[in-house]
Structure 1
């Protein structure tokens, strides 16, 4: 019955292709069918590695009687939230009018125009206290549609209007001061679980964006971030065999995880671990955690094509039965004869950008050629298959490109990852592509208050119905699209691409500054960027001769000092690479010779540079000067 899903580029949709439910993919055909039949739409949103999505699929969507009720009274649409994040965000926002328990699977009931009139998440096959069965929900919605249609239409219109009114951006505020940012650190400190790490009670998520902010916020913030990272790293939230972190835990002590492992969480936590490992005043297990997570990304998540899979499933098959977490309860020897949990092998542009950037920064900090090669391979795949002269691709599976519209997240995250790769390799070409991506997002914004918009426009199905919303600026597990673009623009400014990139980054952050200070747990990456913008700007370019200088101890020591130097941006380039950056319009690299066949380190404060130094001791001395 689910034949429309069989050729999807989403593993999640393909997994539902054998359901007795008459599923549609997200698109105009489903809405046309709902109009023709004059029935409501059920929109079921989830993702391939979601445990409760699996449960509802087995309990309800595989049940012939449930399918009969659905097929007779509804048009059913199955959506992969990772392939269509804007669709997910729009319906999550609408669902918040009906339930506080937001999550996946997300179950939305909408008019044939796509407007939400009721929503929930997981519904069980049989009624439980305070929770109706899924069949009861379907029957009640169907009855309301037939007998109280005007009220449902009125509710749907009110929800849609409220979302539009709430989406107006205000960029008139000011960027926060250092004191205000420290106030956000103190607010997080009050919410910290000092015993187990993290924030708040169960269920608990790693909230990597918040840890990123704390690492950029002085000794007080780094202490909190380090404590949480190391407590999580020693807890059941992290697989001790191959180093990756699970998505979240159901208990405050990080026990009883939900065992899906996301590319995003692990890329962002790698960033945090690397930043902490580079802090000379901190000792502990941060570097070991960083290397473990990097090994998980390169050894488990990277596909033969070079791109990174989106996630690893929470379930595996053990003794012929599906088991959530059973694979991870075994040690390395116990896993030897088992098939690992499957990967969601779709390659997402933005998420790959996060992984590319994290690996590039880890490679730079640890002088690790293998990690750098892994980042290069991923970038090569994405640039070849996902970046076209006229558009970005959101997703692909086994080389087949999805029809899903690329989002602003894809632009910002990929641009950021390419800039980190440019800094780690010294290759200007990555920075040039990143600049073109950011420029396209600025042009697409035109005269709107927020300076970035998706170059390809909003999802066309949402836009046709007036349901497309601006990208949500709040951040839970990942940086928002707005922050991702602003961070890339800020990095372009630091590399000397022009003052205009600083201005657009500042405008973007002003639009969320007030909210971020009020709700630091929901705006970690935005606060991290604002903390970096508030700090003194230190730019470090170390130029080495074009010839092979690996055997020259003085140069090797200077390069090693550059890697550990605390700077807003640090780059190691050959003379030829410096000229390529300068020729591409990055003024930080102009007039930067190595000099007399030796290396030269140029340390600058907001583009005002000290005289170059050629040995590590002199560079280290500059670091303590204020």
Structure 2
């Protein structure tokens, strides 16, 4: 066992018995490189990464390769999900140098952590114009021995160039209706009207953009925005991206038609898409959206919830195919013969037609990814449900993909928001309870009022890595959603504690720009800062949304001002690259709409009319609306102050900037006031 034996990351633990003498990312690793006078190999990946496993098997498990590495390098292994700051800084260097990036990320550093040679996956033998990993190692080692001054000079220049990169902040302030309209127009130009989604292959689920489209429709009535959101959601739900048997979404589609996914299932994708489909149902009443939201929520609870109540990070793409081979997608794909073995000839024929399973296959080796190419309702629903149950039961007997069971704070915050809202919309108190369990774990294990938020935990043990901006922002977002759903003001208080850290430790006091790491965090070669979305909302715009929601609840001017200043970057980037700042556009829609503040008061929270008004408020489509509920005189929510009952019965107040319309006891009037 090498130095990774005692870490909490499942990805690093997968390398603990490699012959490579791995170090975790620590100051001691770089001290060792200085002592020996050798460069550092930095290898970054994550547990569900297919090519990370391939390179590990080909190179890091090979004794000769390991011997060469151990002699000439100090090797450092990083889980990008535990250290997104390290990943971001060096990925920026890789992309600047090579024009592309990805994982595994392979970077060679000086003992001062300055990068000088870059790549991603390297094969064990020269292939497709790529050198072998061994050739790369030998070339780097020779350059280090014979041209070290040149190497260190190049490394220093790279670091200086990175230090000069700054994102436009957009000094004009938060975007208005004109900028959001320009963003919608730009999205329309990139939209794929035949297949849904944006751009070509590979095609990622555009969760944050869909949230913007739904909010834009709610605010402006734009049917084009709603059509793009609705059609994209339908195509994703019918394609192989969605698990037609067990629910839940894969990470992305390798083709434009959503047929063949990259089979890893990530918590953040499923949390975001669960919420997207719930919001689509809220806007349209779509039965398909309702089904997908609930099935995705059930998938998260069934397959990702940990014993401690949190949610695991991911399920691997690869699994044993039953012959001892570790194969991508083996758990999920089917051949006609496999259908016949489980279902018999007659039902297998129906299943093949219904799920798009062909003799040629849509994936590899004649296997097909299950889809729903036919319109729902064409076949006998009870018969199809029986077929689905039998296939799911048979699939459960296959070797399952591995699970990365570390709990990432940010992604659990997204899950809390999704499960709380989905449970409330569809009268599923078990989902709200699951959200409460994860939130409780975050408070008990991850949060410290003074030290801040831990990025990860595993098996009830908090990791050593500090939370980054997205952790504070997404957990605060989850707590705010939970406060509105449960009527428990303590979640608003916890959100406020996290947002205090955002204001004091992550925000530039001069410009209002946000950094991904705290001012007192470990100093890397550059302090990472990126306002654009990746597969999940950027920490920058997620923080703006949480700050705005908290300000709407409390009337806090500093929090609202911070949100408005942070949204300046959306003014700069929204009209030009809307696909990559979708959550910022969604937050800007909330700002333009108010957001509206709803206070529901009743004689008790179990009173039927109070519950009806509360549910009506939660189902409002007004962008970013916040909901407080309680009894008159309750002090858990500032919005409840001085809100009496009308004629002794449950009453709702709708306000903007704490200026309120006339109170109402009528759910229909409340619905009309909130765009429901």
TM (normalized to structure 1)? Answer: 0.93
Give the counterpart of 2:428 among 342, 357, 368.
368
CA distance in 2, matches of 1:441, 1:28: 26
Report the more deviating stretch, 261-270 or 450-459: 450-459
Q: Which residue of 2 aligns with 1:566?
A: 621
CA distance in 1, matches of 2:605, 2:269: 40
**Preserved CA contact (<8 Å) 1:476 1:521:** no
Matches within 5 A, 1:136-215: 136-167=135-166, 170=169, 172-215=171-214
Give the counterpart of 1:327 among 331, 340, 356.
331
1:284 to partner: Cα distance: 5.2
Report the more deviating stretch, 182-191 or 170-179: 170-179
Give the counterpart of 1:581 among 633, 636, 640.
636
Report the 3-state secondary structure (helix = DSSP H, G, I; strand = E; otherwise coil) of the residue aligned with 1:579. coil
* Residues 556 and 13 of structure 1, relative CA distance in 2, 3 Å threshold: closer
1:446 to partner: Cα distance: 6.2
Q: Which residue of 2 aligns with 1:549?
A: 607
Name the Cα RMSD after superposition: 2.0
1:220 to partner: Cα distance: 2.2
Give the counterpart of 1:449 among 499, 508, 511.
511
Report the 3-state secondary structure (helix = DSSP H, G, I; strand = E; otherwise coil) of the residue aligned with 1:96. helix
CA deviations 1:123-152 (Å, max 9, x no partner) are: 111111221111111111111111222222
Q: Which residue of 2 aligns with 1:495?
A: 553
* Residues 98 and 570 of structure 1, relative CA distance in 2, 3 Å threshold: closer
CA distance in 1, matches of 2:520, 2:26: 14
1:560 to partner: Cα distance: 4.0
Q: Which residue of 2 aligns with 1:396?
A: 457
CA distance in 2, matches of 1:547, 1:353: 25
CA distance in 2, matches of 1:332, 1:318: 16
Q: Which residue of 1 aligns with 2:320?
A: 317
Q: Which residue of 2 aligns with 1:240?
A: 244
**Preserved CA contact (<8 Å) 1:310 1:345:** yes
**Preserved CA contact (<8 Å) 1:407 1:458:** no
Give the counterpart of 2:304 among 301, 306, 309.
301
5+ residue gaps in structure 2? Answer: 218-222, 335-390
1:512 to partner: Cα distance: 4.3
CA distance in 1, matches of 2:94, 2:264: 24
**Preserved CA contact (<8 Å) 1:474 1:522:** yes
**Preserved CA contact (<8 Å) 2:599 2:640:** yes
* Residues 169 and 196 of structure 1, relative CA distance in 2, 3 Å threshold: closer
Give the counterpart of 2:415 among 352, 355, 362.
355
Task: Report whether the alignment pairs 1:611 with 2:662.
Answer: yes
**Preserved CA contact (<8 Å) 1:173 1:511:** no
1:106 to partner: Cα distance: 0.5
CA deviations 1:91-127 (Å, max 9, x no partner) are: 1111112222211111111111001111111111111
Q: Which residue of 2 aligns with 1:27?
A: 26
1:159 to partner: Cα distance: 1.2
CA deviations 1:438-472 (Å, max 9, x no partner) are: 11221224634235557854542xx1xx5132332
Matches within 5 A, 1:251-290: 251-280=255-284, 283=286, 285-290=288-293
Task: Report whether the alignment pairs 1:6 with 2:10.
Answer: no
CA distance in 2, matches of 1:122, 1:455: 28
CA distance in 2, matches of 1:620, 1:137: 64
CA distance in 1, matches of 2:150, 2:459: 46
**Preserved CA contact (<8 Å) 2:246 2:299:** yes
Q: Which residue of 1 aligns with 2:475?
A: 414
Report the 3-state secondary structure (helix = DSSP H, G, I; strand = E; otherwise coil) of the residue aligned with 1:95. helix
* Residues 451 and 170 of structure 1, relative CA distance in 2, 3 Å threshold: closer
Report the 3-state secondary structure (helix = DSSP H, G, I; strand = E; otherwise coil) of the residue aligned with 1:378. helix
1:407 to partner: Cα distance: 1.1
* Residues 368 and 515 of structure 1, relative CA distance in 2, 3 Å threshold: same
**Preserved CA contact (<8 Å) 1:471 1:480:** no
* Residues 611 and 534 of structure 1, relative CA distance in 2, 3 Å threshold: closer
CA distance in 1, matches of 2:675, 2:13: 57
Q: Which residue of 1 aligns with 2:229?
A: 225
CA distance in 2, matches of 1:617, 1:485: 33
Report the more deviating stretch, 447-456 or 436-445: 447-456
Report the 3-state secondary structure (helix = DSSP H, G, I; strand = E; otherwise coil) of the residue aligned with 1:278. helix
**Preserved CA contact (<8 Å) 1:544 1:572:** no
CA distance in 1, matches of 2:172, 2:669: 42
Report the 3-state secondary structure (helix = DSSP H, G, I; strand = E; otherwise coil) of the residue aligned with 1:548. coil
Q: Which residue of 2 aligns with 1:590?
A: 641
**Preserved CA contact (<8 Å) 1:87 1:459:** no
Task: Report whether the alignment pairs 1:439 with 2:500.
Answer: yes
* Residues 233 and 64 of structure 1, relative CA distance in 2, 3 Å threshold: same
